Structure 1
Amino acid sequence: MSAPAIRTPASAVRARRAVATGLILLAVALAAFCLHLAIGGTPIALGDVVATLFGAAPDPRTELTIIEFRLPRSVAAVLAGAGFGVAGALTQNVARNPLASPDILGVTNGAALGAVAVLALSVHAGGRSELLVHYGLPIAATLGGLLVSALVFALVWHSSLESNRLVLVGLGFSGLCAALTSWMLTLGEIYNAQQALTWLAGTINAISWADLAFAPVVIVLGLAAAALLRNQREVLALDSDTSRA
């Protein structure tokens, strides 16, 4: 008689698939990262890009172009993409809805409202306007997103974060913040309005290493907090009755 076939547990198969998918996506991301460094106003050979990243730049000009000008922008794009991906996954987990995202729950428009408010106030700040925009804008955007998310969760907390109610309340706050943002842009100076629209659309232009001083720290702290709250997140992922119990 032949020996019975050994079946691999479904969890192990899913884990292997997840690891394989992650490695493939990592390879694609690294290739796109190097390609982004090579393409620009002055194209650089892909081999020279790789050599420069490993400390063997063919000439000082290539090293300056890649390390000081293009690399900070590419790193900023990767960090932003990673942060958005984790934020979306956590939002779907808490909301128990695969369509939930920070923009649907009002967090994105709340942050936009905070940032535009700083740009509107900078008109009356005189010589301190540049300082206010540079430091106040990211702080105000963060506080705006946190405030809206706190209001949304406070209004649906009594219903054990019921998924549909959470999305509906979030959409309401999102629309309110978007309307207030448009109103402030209409009343603001033309230059500030253009600057706000550029910020709202998102750009990595003129990003330097100094601008990236805090982004990795914030993302690492957010990931650490999400890991520490894993048990609570797993409970919230269940249905309302089970999570309440």
Structure 2
Amino acid sequence: LKNEDTARVFANNYPKKDTDKADKSGADTDKADKSGTDTDKTQKEAQTEDKIKRKIDPDDWRLILVNKQNPIPDDYEAAMVPFRGGVSIREEIKGPLDEMFDAAALEGITLQACSGYRSHEHQQALFDRKIRTYTGQGLSYLDAFRIGSYSVIIPGTSEHELGMALDIVTPGYTSLNEGFANTDAGRWLKNNAFKYGFILRYPKGKEYITGIIFEPWHFRYVGKEAATDIKNRDITLEEYLEELELY
């Protein structure tokens, strides 16, 4: 599917999280045997979360949450510097990003940055163009806005405006679609980005939480500690920060 088709399908079915609990009686009978295992797991998770809470600074810039419900803070400021491919990024993440790109190269993987920091005006132009595409197909403005916001993020709520997110492709596959996940570069990033403090920000199956379609090319810097925990537990930044009661 093209991105716009994926966004349309996602928007028409959002949210996808199952809330129907009517027919779970059979499944509930299986839970008794798992109580010991579940208790151990809960205790381990609680211990892990307690350790994390002691380390987390609520003002840590690396953990700023930006999404449809949490726009970029009015007082957000950061210095941007040039990076490979002609993009700009927040100055503090250039080192980790260089390390990640170099590590991939040592394994024969060529990573290519195609989008980094975007000004509010640039994000607005991208969003307006997506809206025009949908209204040109006969959709009302409201429907175009709703569907468009799942593939092009609403200005003021895009991580690209933070300078801490990067769209990454590879010379042999430059399209921003789900197919990137099946490339060597896409697989390498999914398995290794956390080592350098980056997370796959919009994973598959978590659309009902992030509000954004699966984007295997979009990586966000959160620092090594947070990235490792998010990766190991297969959770989103939203879930991670909610557990820490930071948002």
After TM superposition, the score normalised by the length of structure 2 is 0.23
Higher helix proportion (structure 1 or 2): 1
After TM superposition, the score normalised by the length of structure 1 is 0.23
Higher strand proportion (structure 1 or 2): 2
